[in-house]
Amino acid sequence: MSRVHVLDHPLIQHKLSLIRDKETGAKEFRELVAEISLLMAYEVTRDLPLKEVEIETPVAKATAKVISGKKLGIIPILRAGLGMVDGMLKLIPAAKVGHIGLYRDPETLEPVGYYCKLPSDVEERELIVIDPMLATGGSASAALRLIKEKGARSIKFVCLIAAPEGIERLQREHDDVDIYVAAIDKCLNEHGYIVPGLGDAGDRLFGTK
C-alpha cells in the first residue's frame, strides 16, 4: 500500500488558506502556488540518498555529504500542474521536466489526453508528478499509467488538495506511488469539485473564466 504524507507545516497551511480564498487574484494565487510547491519539494526530497565525498574547506580537508542515486524528473499534469513547476525547480534545478496534457471532461469527469513529452531516460529517473488537485483521481491515475507505460518505475505524486475519493483511487490503482498532499478535504460535490477546495485550479492560475 502506498503511503500518504500530509505536509502540515505551518507555512504550507497558511499559504494554502490564502489560495483557498475566492478573493485571491491570479497574480497572488500563482505566487503562492509556487511558494507552496517549493516548501513541498523540501519534504518530498527528504528521503533522497546521500553519499560521502572528500572536499577541502578553506580551513581543512573534510568528508561531506552530497545527493547520490537516481536523477530526478518533474512531470506536471497540464495545465494546472504548470503552476507548481518553478517552485519545485528552485530546490531541484537539475531535474528534467516532462509534460502530460490531460483535461477532465466536465460531463463524464473522465480524463482526456492531448499531450505527452517525457525525458528520454524516464526509466532511470525518480519522477515527481505534480498537479494541484486530486479530485476523482481520474487524471492522476491516467498520467501515472502513461508514465509507467513509458518505463518509469520510481514515482511520487504531489498535490496541494486531495479529496478522499482521489486518494482511495490512486492507492487502489497505483499502490507503488506515494502521495504527498498539503490537505485532504471533505468530499466532492455533484460536479466533481473538491469541497471546500479552491475551485478550478487551472482557471485561478491562468485567470481564465
| The only residue of 16, 72, 75, 80 in contact with ligand PRP, by rule CB under 6 A | 80
Question: φ, ψ for residue 35 (rounded to 5)?
Answer: -65, -40
Measured in Å, how far apart are the chain's first and last C-alpha atoms? 39
Residue 209 DSSP symbol: -
Q: At what angle do helices 164-173 and 138-149 cross, to 10 degrees?
A: 20
Written as nine digits, the cell of 16 is: 494554502
Minimum CB separation of residue 77 from ligand URA in Å reads 11
* CA gyration radius, the chain: 18
197 interface partner picked from ligand PRP, ligand URA, none, CB below 5 to 8 A per type: ligand URA
String of contacts with ligand PRP for each residue 137-176, x by CB under 6 A: xxxx-------------------------x----------
Q: If we measure between CA atoms, which residue out of 184, 204, 203 comes closest to residue 195?
A: 184
Interaction between residue 104 and ligand PRP (CB under 6 A): yes
Interaction between residue 116 and ligand PRP (CB under 6 A): no
Residue 87 DSSP symbol: H
Active-site residues: which are they?
104, 108, 200, 203
| The only residue of 15, 44, 127, 131 in contact with ligand PRP, by rule CB under 6 A | 131
Contact footprint for ligand URA (CB under 6 A): 80, 133, 135, 192-194, 197, 200-202
Interaction between residue 77 and ligand PRP (CB under 6 A): yes
194 interface partner picked from ligand PRP, ligand URA, none, CB below 5 to 8 A per type: ligand URA
Minimum CB separation of residue 52 from ligand URA in Å reads 44
CB neighbourhood size of 68 (10 A): 11
CB 81 within 8 A of CB 89: no
Minimum CB separation of residue 124 from ligand PRP in Å reads 26
- Neighbouring residues of 85: CB distance < 8 A, sequence distance ≥ 6: 37, 74, 76, 97, 130
Q: For binding to ligand PRP (CB under 6 A), which residues are involved?
A: 77-80, 103-104, 109, 111, 131-140, 166, 192, 200-202
